Amino acid sequence: MTKVSDPIRIGSFTLKNRMTMAPTVKFDLAGPDGILSDEHVKHYSERASHGIALLCVEATAVTPDGRFDEKHIGLWDDSQIEKHRLVTEACRNNGVVSLIQLNHTGIGTNPAVGRPIGPSSVPCRTGMSEEMPVDDIHRMQSMFVAAAVRAKKAGYDGIQLHGCHGYLINQFVCKKTNLRTDEYGGSAENMARFACEIIRGIREACGSDFLISVRTVGADPDLSTAAEVARYYVDAGCDYLQVSSGIEQPDPSLAAEGAPYNLICSLGVHFHDVFKGKVPVSCVNGIMDPELVRYLIENELTDTVDLARAMLADPRFPEAVLEGKEFVRCFECKACQYGPFTKHVCPAAVRRGALVL
């Protein structure tokens, strides 16, 4: 029986256990320059020090005009590299594999920082988005690759492409937002081409030992199409899949009946079956009890579990899973994930007497 404490090989790296920290944006900590703040460094350093095996730093903009907001970290410029070295050093000192998630918001770009662009001209919050010409697509791909090169210079072991939650890569693989009839639209292979060419570019620029993962859609528009898209990612060189939601709502019937985990987590379980023996797969969403972590791993329903709110509420959560230590459970008040751009005082952090970030 597989245990949470068992190591696992992903790409060129061996994780010391089966728990990873999901990328969770700290909206109120960055400045307009996109440089990590001291609060960011403290936040990630603390979470690297309590037993997690892999830590993925939050969504990081590859261009200044593709941010959520003016307070959004980036890796579009060499001046942003240095502060990241403090995070990667903290991870390395604790035996934690470090990734950083690279992102562009596409048609959801905040008008305060840029214009909404995407695979097609479709309705967006400011009217209609602008369709990207092929030359612009290639320029954007080069921005992702350049950001990955900066991540490697900063000491990260790899990157994660943000391919879900409605952002640019997700927009290319969703028929609601990709109406193209050229080589970047139509079939699953064509819609996956944007990200696949980024993956190949990163592999060429960063080497065979650089870990490349994709946070991918589990059922956008359906399970079989999403899995087909992910197969193209893997064929292009993706080492690791983290499965989450996309633009379209997943079919509720995909939830495992009677299971102790939710619909989004069920998508990861489905992908684990599809990609077994090919690449490791991680589940995410609503995993906030040590018992559920053990259930998913010990029943071999997933290769790793991706922890988000559990780690925001208490960075000691992995020690609770591995060693039975006490921890403060997430209150599930939703504000940390549904209230961006506002100061949120986490009740769990207050209860454990931590400095609230």
Strand partners, 210: none
SS3 assignment, position 55:
strand
154-165 per-position pLDDT tens digit: 999 999 999 999
Q: What type of residue is 212?
A: I
H/E element, 337: helix 335-338
Provide the strand spans (E) within 223-294: 240-244, 281-284
Query: Which domains, and CATH codes, for the chain?
Result: 8-324 (3.20.20.70)
Residue 292 has pLDDT above 60, yes or no: yes
**Whether residue 221 has a cis bond before it, omega within 30° of 0:** yes
| Cβ contact 147:60 at 8 Å | yes
304-356 per-position pLDDT tens digit: 999 999 999 999 999 999 999 999 999 888 777 544 445 677 888 888 877 44
Counting every residue written for the chain, the total comes to 357
Strand partners, 252: none
Confidence at residue 346, expressed as pLDDT on a 0 to 100 scale: 82
Give the chain's count of helices (H) and strands (E). Answer: 12, 14
Could you list the active site residues? 167
pTM: 0.96
Strand partners, 96: none
Mean pLDDT of 200-223: 97
Confidence at residue 43, expressed as pLDDT on a 0 to 100 scale: 94
Confidence at residue 90, expressed as pLDDT on a 0 to 100 scale: 98
| Cβ contact 314:327 at 8 Å | yes
DSSP β-ladder status, 123-124 and 127-128: antiparallel
Mean pLDDT of 227-245: 98
pLDDT > 70 fraction of the chain, expressed in percent and rounded: 96
pLDDT > 90 fraction of the chain, expressed in percent and rounded: 88
25-72 per-position pLDDT tens digit: 987 788 899 999 999 999 999 999 999 999 999 999 999 999 998 889
User: pLDDT tier at 83 (50, 70, 90 boundaries)?
Assistant: very high
| Cβ contact 50:319 at 8 Å | yes
CA–CA separation, 291 vs 143, rounded Å?
41
Q: Which residues contact 189 (CB under 8 A, 6 or more apart)?
A: 232
CA–CA separation, 74 vs 192, rounded Å?
24
Angstrom CA distances, 65 to 70, 82, 116, 167, stand at: 9, 21, 9, 13
DSSP symbol at 22:
P
CA–CA separation, 1 vs 297, rounded Å?
9
SS3 assignment, position 277:
coil
